[in-house]
């Protein structure tokens, strides 16, 4: 087990396997680095060095009472990548992790990051406001806050159904994946998960996206019920060097249940 203490003393758990060009994976809310199993194994066998961390308050990392916000998430990554001396790295983020990748790349990544991939990402901004009238209403996030903060065990048990699109006609719940989602979520801090909802819903990545010169691959399922598909073309349009691939019928959880397709598209982009 590898851990690294960031500047406020919080211990960040991470996996670091293999050699070669590094690929750093950033997980979604409220999960952990274990959500990248299908990608870690795939890219390790392709000869890459694969690294994935548990975000503060998630998984096996320290459950700090402070810093459950996007600025600190990105700063934690900057400290970890510096400690591991990662250069020419590819950063891959899912959902909240996609926002984390973009904020890290814009603020800290110069000279260290070669390319980025954001999957089902919360960029450029999720919440509905005056500048984002097509966004998701605050009431939706308040419902997630209520379920997470005060009925977490049951709420997290039910959440994967829409996450993986199992509520669509002809789809069957994959019980092992559902239980693994619940396991990962319940490992983390209820406070970090509760406060993280504001981080993923209200953080505005517009200027971060505009500032990036590196190649960025944007992947999004067209049947995403968690982060609306409309986010993806908006994010891609803001990038100087962005490429969008959309997937008809794919859900928010496509890196897990459609891993073969996603992995091969990422591999082609990296190469």
> Residue 88 in contact with residue 217, Cβ under 8 Å?
no
CA dist list (Å): 262 to 15, 63, 144, 171: 21, 31, 27, 19
CA dist list (Å): 221 to 74, 94, 115, 122, 135: 25, 12, 21, 13, 17
Written as six digits, the tokens of 160 are: 């994967």
Catalytic residue among 32, 95, 201, 251: 95
> Residue 242 in contact with residue 139, Cβ under 8 Å?
no
Helix H or strand E segment including 98: helix 96-107
34 labelled catalytic: no
252 labelled catalytic: yes
Go through the domains of the chain in sequence order and give each one's CATH number: 1-268 (3.40.50.1820)
Catalytic residue among 54, 120, 252, 265: 252
State how far the Cα of 89 lies from the Cα of 153, in Å rounded to an integer. Answer: 36
Catalytic residue among 32, 224, 251, 265: 224
Residue 160: which of 146, 140, 180 has the closest Cα? 180
193 labelled catalytic: no
Residue 66: which of 185, 195, 200 has the closest Cα? 195
User: How much is the pLDDT for 122?
Assistant: 98
Helices 37-45 and 259-270: angle between axes, nearest 10 degrees: 50
Q: Does the pLDDT of residue 1 top 80, yes or no?
A: no
User: How much is the pLDDT for 158?
Assistant: 98
* pTM for this entry: 0.98
pLDDT tens, residue by residue, 109-157: 999 999 999 999 999 999 999 989 989 999 999 999 999 999 999 999 9
Burial class (CB in 10 A: 0-12, 13-18, 19+), 132: middle
For 12, the 3-state DSSP assignment is strand
User: How much is the pLDDT for 134?
Assistant: 87
Q: Does the pLDDT of residue 191 top 70, yes or no?
A: yes
pLDDT tens, residue by residue, 21-62: 999 999 999 999 999 999 999 999 999 999 999 999 999 999
State how far the Cα of 252 lies from the Cα of 121, in Å rounded to an integer. Answer: 9
Written as six digits, the tokens of 11 are: 């211990």
pLDDT tens, residue by residue, 57-111: 999 999 999 999 999 999 999 999 999 999 999 999 999 999 999 999 999 999 9
User: How much is the pLDDT for 55?
Assistant: 98
Query: Which residues, listed in sequence order, are joined to residue 2 by a DSSP beta bridge?
Result: 14
Cis omega (within 30 of 0) for bond into 175: no
Query: Which residues, listed in sequence order, are joined to residue 156 by a DSSP beta bridge?
Result: none
Q: Does the pLDDT of residue 188 top 90, yes or no?
A: yes
pLDDT tens, residue by residue, 198-241: 999 999 999 999 999 999 999 999 999 999 999 999 999 999 99
């Amino acid at each position: 087990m590898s851990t690294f203490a960031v500047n406020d003393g919080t211990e960040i758990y991470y996996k670091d396997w293999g050699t070669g060009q590094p690929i750093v994976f950033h997980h979604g809310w409220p999960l952990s680095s274990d959500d990248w199993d299908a990608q870690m194994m795939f890219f390790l066998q392709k000869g890459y060095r694969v690294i994935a961390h548990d975000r503060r308050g998630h998984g096996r990392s320290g459950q700090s009472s402070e810093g459950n916000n996007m600025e600190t998430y990105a700063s934690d990554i900057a400290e970890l990548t510096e400690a591991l001396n990662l250069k020419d790295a590819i950063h891959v983020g899912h959902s909240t992790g996609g926002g984390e990748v973009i904020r890290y790349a814009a603020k800290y990544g110069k000279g260290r990051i070669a390319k980025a991939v954001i999957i089902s990402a919360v960029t450029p901004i999720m919440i509905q406001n005056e500048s984002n009238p097509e966004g998701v209403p605050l009431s939706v996030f308040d419902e997630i806050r209520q379920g997470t903060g005060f009925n977490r065990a049951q709420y997290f048990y039910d959440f994967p159904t829409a996450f993986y699109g199992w509520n669509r006609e002809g789809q069957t719940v994959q019980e092992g994946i559902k239980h693994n989602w619940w396991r990962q979520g319940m490992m983390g801090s209820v406070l970090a998960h509760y406060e993280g909802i504001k981080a993923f819903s209200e953080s505005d990545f517009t200027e971060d996206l505009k500032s990036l010169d590196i190649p960025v691959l944007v992947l999004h399922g067209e049947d995403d019920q968690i982060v609306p598909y409309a986010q993806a073309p908006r994010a891609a349009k803001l990038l100087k060097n962005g490429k969008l691939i959309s997937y008809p019928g794919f859900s928010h959880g496509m890196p897990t249940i459609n891993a073969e397709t996603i992995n091969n598209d990422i591999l082609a982009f990296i190469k």
